[in-house]
Amino acid sequence: MIQDIDSALVTLTDSEIIAARKRTTKYLLELEPERFLVEFNKVAGIETAKVKGYQGWERPTGNNFRGHFFGHYLSALSQALHSEKDPDIQAAIHVKLTTAVTGLLKAQTYYAKVHPQSAGYVSAFREVALDAVEGKPVPENQRENVLVPWYDLHKILAGLIAVAVNVPSIDAQLAGQAQEVAEKFGEYVYRRMIKLTDPTQMLKTEYGGMNDALYALFDLTRNPHDLQAATYFDETSLFDELAHHRDVLAGKHANTTIPKVIGALRRYEVFQEPKLADQFLTADETKQLPDYLTAAENFWQMVIDDHTYVTGGNSQSEHFHEPGQLFEDAALKDGATTCETCNTYNMLKLSRELFKVTGQKKYLDYYEQTYCNAILGSQNPETGMMTYFQPMGAGYTKVFNRPFDEFWCCTGTGIENFTKLGDSDYFMDDRYLTVNLYFQISCAC
């Protein structure tokens, strides 16, 4: 399989690209991890009276997504720390990341002492939020106001894994702590999953890329519990439709669907080592692996052919619609809410991995087009803030987030976008070095 070149070996040389990264790094350093940790500490029973938590989507009141942005923050900090060349900035990032990871470790440890039956749980909201999406009865006065709990927890787990992967050469102890928290959380998820009487119930509520993250965790740990937990988040009925070339996307929430397919492809990637497949999969499961790849390939082609705007973005009002109806959707419904930036982030992740598996040039062609138009175009060049939507309808303007009281989903993926600008510039196998986005880089590889 094709491998990507470590972004730490890549030097960005384009002045606009460098400026975009600096704006995001500046924003990351203005944020305070202690404020994100307030809700985690409350759940764990740790005193938080002296610190005021952030608001917006991270607020404890009203419907919210609390905890989600902190996961993106972990990922972005780890990426910035991994690729930053300035020692002073690297040191400042390191301080923020250390506070974030050790804060999660402390919250997880405290929670386990009070709730030993739920050891490993670490979250900005109580477990009853998971009970509710699993269909268990929860009294009205006990319910949580978190809209998509597994989605939020996916961001935390993905962030911890990013630290474990990106930081070992800089701070092995910190990377180890992040992996420790992730492993304990993975065990919690496994114990929870095996008790489910109807696993399909929780899949009705957006759960992000939990299958992707758990397969990635398994790739680090080789713990069969992580593997088994991941399978509970595989929506195999969807994968089967896609593998049979059926475009069933109309009406589906786009940013719910794309991560599911990334998870399917991750399962295929993890088991490309035959000895690993022989050790952990049955013969039938090994035979089914190509179907996961086919589903991902077919999905990508459907989206590109029939659901994508010229910029490379997709969706209107966060959803896929009928194939080939983009113009009508934008004109007749709301041209301000096209091209959700989260979808672009996830389509680039999918394209990147499909290229690594197949070597097909079309995935990098799409990557370059979309990176230039929809990713670089998602940041305000004056403030560094980011878009939720990129309007395709005439007469609309871009709207950018406020820095400290909104924390949209696309702000979270946005800070990841602009701290990994060099992660898909070079790829190599045993014969070739492939150059992508050559306009912005030089390489020490």
Nearest to 427 by CA among 361, 336, 341: 361
- What is the Cα–Cα distance from 69 to 401, expressed in whole angstroms? 13
- What is the Cα–Cα distance from 231 to 283, expressed in whole angstroms? 16
- What is the Cα–Cα distance from 157 to 413, expressed in whole angstroms? 15
What strands, in cross-sheet order, belong to the sheet with 426-428?
3-4, 426-428, 433-435
Asked if the structure places residue 238 within a domain, the reply is no
Asked if the structure places residue 63 within a domain, the reply is yes
* 240 band by pLDDT with thresholds 50, 70 and 90: very high
140-159 pLDDT, tens digit per residue, is 999 999 999 999 999 999 99
- β-partners of residue 433 are 428
77-102 pLDDT, tens digit per residue, is 999 999 999 999 999 999 999 999 99
Query: What is the Cα 166 distance to its own chain's centre?
Result: 15
29-65 pLDDT, tens digit per residue, is 999 999 999 999 999 999 988 899 999 999 999 999 9
3-state secondary structure (DSSP) of residue 380: coil
* 133 band by pLDDT with thresholds 50, 70 and 90: very high
Q: Which residue range is the domain that position 142 belongs to? A: 31-187
- What is the Cα–Cα distance from 64 to 81, expressed in whole angstroms? 29
Q: Are 107 and 23 in contact (CB under 8 A)?
A: no
Assigned token pair, 100: 């974030």
Q: Does residue 380 register a pLDDT over 80?
A: yes
- What is the Cα–Cα distance from 183 to 176, expressed in whole angstroms? 10
Asked if the structure places residue 377 within a domain, the reply is no
Asked if the structure places residue 225 within a domain, the reply is no
18-37 pLDDT, tens digit per residue, is 999 999 999 999 999 999 99
Q: Does residue 202 register a pLDDT over 90?
A: yes
- What is the Cα–Cα distance from 130 to 115, expressed in whole angstroms? 16
Q: What is the DSSP pairing of strand 3-4 with strand 433-435?
A: unpaired
Query: In sequence order, what are the residues at sequence separation of 6 or more whose Cβ sits closer than 8 angstroms to the Cβ of residue 40?
Result: 67, 70, 103, 104, 107, 122, 123, 124
Asked if the structure places residue 36 within a domain, the reply is yes
Nearest to 177 by CA among 109, 105, 122: 105
Rounded to whole angstroms, what are the CA distances from 66 to 59, 146, 156?
6, 7, 11
* 411 band by pLDDT with thresholds 50, 70 and 90: very high
Q: Does residue 221 register a pLDDT over 90?
A: yes
Asked if the structure places residue 441 within a domain, the reply is no
How many domains, the chain?
1
Query: In sequence order, what are the residues at sequence separation of 6 or more whose Cβ sits closer than 8 angstroms to the Cβ of residue 420?
Result: 7, 79, 83
Query: In sequence order, what are the residues at sequence separation of 6 or more whose Cβ sits closer than 8 angstroms to the Cβ of residue 32?
Result: none
Q: Are 316 and 330 in contact (CB under 8 A)?
A: yes
Residue 327: the pLDDT is: 60
- The dihedral of CA 291, 293, 296, 300: what is its sign? negative
Nearest to 346 by CA among 270, 422, 428, 409: 409
Asked if the structure places residue 196 within a domain, the reply is no
Residue 395: the pLDDT is: 86
Nearest to 96 by CA among 432, 419, 440: 419
Asked if the structure places residue 201 within a domain, the reply is no
- What is the Cα–Cα distance from 220 to 179, expressed in whole angstroms? 9
Q: What is the mean pLDDT of residues 318-346?
A: 83
Q: Are 198 and 158 in contact (CB under 8 A)?
A: no
- What is the Cα–Cα distance from 399 to 431, expressed in whole angstroms? 45
